[in-house]
Amino acid sequence: MQIAALVFPEIDQMDLTGPFEVLSRLPGARFKLVWKDLAPVRDANGLILTPGTLLPHAPEAPDVLLVPGGRGQLALMDDVPILEWVRSRAAKARYILSVCTGALTLGAAGLLRGRRATTHWNSFQLLSQFGATPEDSRVVIDGNLISTAGVSAGIDGALRLAALLAGEDAAMRIQLEMQYAPQPPFSAGTPGQAPAPIREAAEAAVAPLTEARLEAARRATSRSWSS
Amino acid sequence: MQIAALVFPEIDQMDLTGPFEVLSRLPGARFKLVWKDLAPVRDANGLILTPGTLLPHAPEAPDVLLVPGGRGQLALMDDVPILEWVRSRAAKARYILSVCTGALTLGAAGLLRGRRATTHWNSFQLLSQFGATPEDSRVVIDGNLISTAGVSAGIDGALRLAALLAGEDAAMRIQLEMQYAPQPPFSAGTPGQAPAPIREAAEAAVAPLTEARLEAARRATSRSWSS
């Protein structure tokens, strides 16, 4: 059970660690953090994460290709060697799991054309730029492509994926082991649920980043991939 | 906003990274991973985490003392210098947050006597060893002590704590930013919800560890703390 997860500077750490908590508990799991070099990187809020595998050494046909998001995902949308690596692994992966704005990386790699997909609510309107069919669900499964909404949604997506990979009993056991019976203290986890002033403040704080992502999406879709 | 989080070998990484995702988003947050040395450690399933602060250099009166659990927590229950450090920081911390079996570390440090507390379902019966009043809730708040159930419950506890520290609007904004509107795929996150064979298999897998924790609890309660 080979899991290859892209890690990069200014990742949102839970996009990676949420699915790690689930998928690393699968029988025989080998979970690799993959990047250009093996120096530690910091997530968007400073947590140190350490890659263990260089891009060319990652499994060529992983059971899972995990593509997380976060602020640092923007740079990947113009990083053609990274996008080519994502394309090469996605082509042979059994499943692809994007979390949060990781979906935009898949989009920039040309992998969302004609596929149903979701992403963080604040970037949801960008999905159509990539030829995807946006679907406003927490987890969207289209063939072997599983995309999730923002950050914490990677836990739900990974549990769905665990059931596909190892059966529902195995997934339920993982859910029990991590005591995942969540009780959010507020009804504020989606833009529809949160009070309007809170939603507007959250939108305003990332508006420049969202605009930069839109521009990166436009550049990305002007590229043509050879295969 | 000083947050001091104990990190150690074979921690369960989500016990730390769940609260990190929430609390590192608080205004002015400075989140420190604290341990005996600064060499990277591996969590129970292999994720590399890197401490940034030595025990004596950690804030003496942190706003939050975070005590995570996981398999490696067992060794801490006999590690008197660690228990003394926990006692020293707990004495001056504004809030103490234990996640999962981190509560057993607090118990071994003599900090649960007469307090209501919870922990991972599989260790719940050990709480009374420490003179605690076990309360079967996902998050238990007793004065400045916040304890949570297993692993993923740290997210809920941290959001409750964020509201105490910075107000409900700030906590709701964090919940929205991390799109925390969970949709667990199964009803299996507590021992009461999970099918009996799955619960029994999960219990059996950790029975030796649970027994070792009971023995460590008995040793710990035979110690007397000077203050």
pLDDT value at position A223?
85
Residue A74, CA distances (Å) to A118, A205, A210, A215, B184 in order: 17, 16, 9, 10, 29
Amino acid found at B177: E
Residues with Cβ within 8 Å of A170's Cβ and at least 6 positions away in sequence, in order, are A26, A27, A162, A163
Tens of pLDDT, residue by residue over A177-227, are: 999 999 999 999 999 999 999 999 999 999 999 999 999 999 998 887 755
CA distance B153 to B170: 19
pLDDT value at position B222?
87
| Contacts with A173 from chain B: Cβ below 8 Å | 188, 194, 198, 201-202
Q: Out of A93-102, B65-74, B86-95, B214-223, pick the least confident.
A: B214-223
Neighbours of A25 (CB within 10 A): 21
Residue of B nearest to A173 (CA): B198
Helix, strand, or coil (residue B104): helix
| Contacts with A139 from chain B: Cβ below 8 Å | 183
Contact A132, A113 (CB under 8 A): yes
Average pLDDT over residues B1-13: 98
Return the residue in B198, B199, B203 with the most chain A beta carbons within 10 A, the one to mutate for interface testing: B198
B57 is catalytic: no
Rounded to the nearest angstrom, the minimum Cα separation between A149 and chain B is 7
Average pLDDT over residues A90-111: 98
How far from chain centre, in Å, is Cα A219? 21
pLDDT value at position A121?
98
Contact A156, A86 (CB under 8 A): no
**Phi, psi for residue A66 in degrees, rounded to 5:** -100, 125
Bin A99: left if φ > 0, else alpha if -120 < ψ < 50, else beta.
beta
Nearest-5° angle of CA B77, CA B79, CA B81? 130
Q: Model's pTM, two decimal places?
A: 0.97
User: DSSP characters for A67-115?
Assistant: E--STTHHHHTT-HHHHHHHHHHHHH-SEEEE-TTHHHHHHHTT--TT-
Rounded to the nearest angstrom, the minimum Cα separation between A194 and chain B is 7
pLDDT value at position A225?
75
Pure H helices in B56-195: 73-76, 80-92, 102-108, 153-166, 168-177
Residue of A nearest to B41 (CA): A50
Q: For B173, which of A138, A152, A202 is closest by C-beta distance?
A: A202
| B106-122 burial: b if 16+ Cβ within 10 Å, else e | bbbbbbbeebbbbbbbb
Q: For A175, which of B120, B138, B189 is closest by C-beta distance?
A: B189
Helix, strand, or coil (residue A125): helix
The CA-to-CA distance between both ends of chain A, in Å, stands at 27
Inter-chain CB pairs, A–B, below 8 Å: 210
Contact yes or no for A13 and B29 at CB 8 A? no
Catalytic residue among B90, B100, B132, B151: B100
Tens of pLDDT, residue by residue over B135-153, are: 999 999 999 999 999 999 9
Q: For A156, which of B151, B185, B193 is closest by C-beta distance?
A: B185
Rounded to the nearest angstrom, the minimum Cα separation between A222 and chain B is 30
Tens of pLDDT, residue by residue over A55-69, are: 999 999 999 999 999
DSSP designation for B166: H
Contact B144, B95 (CB under 8 A): yes
Catalytic residue among A34, A82, A96, A100: A100
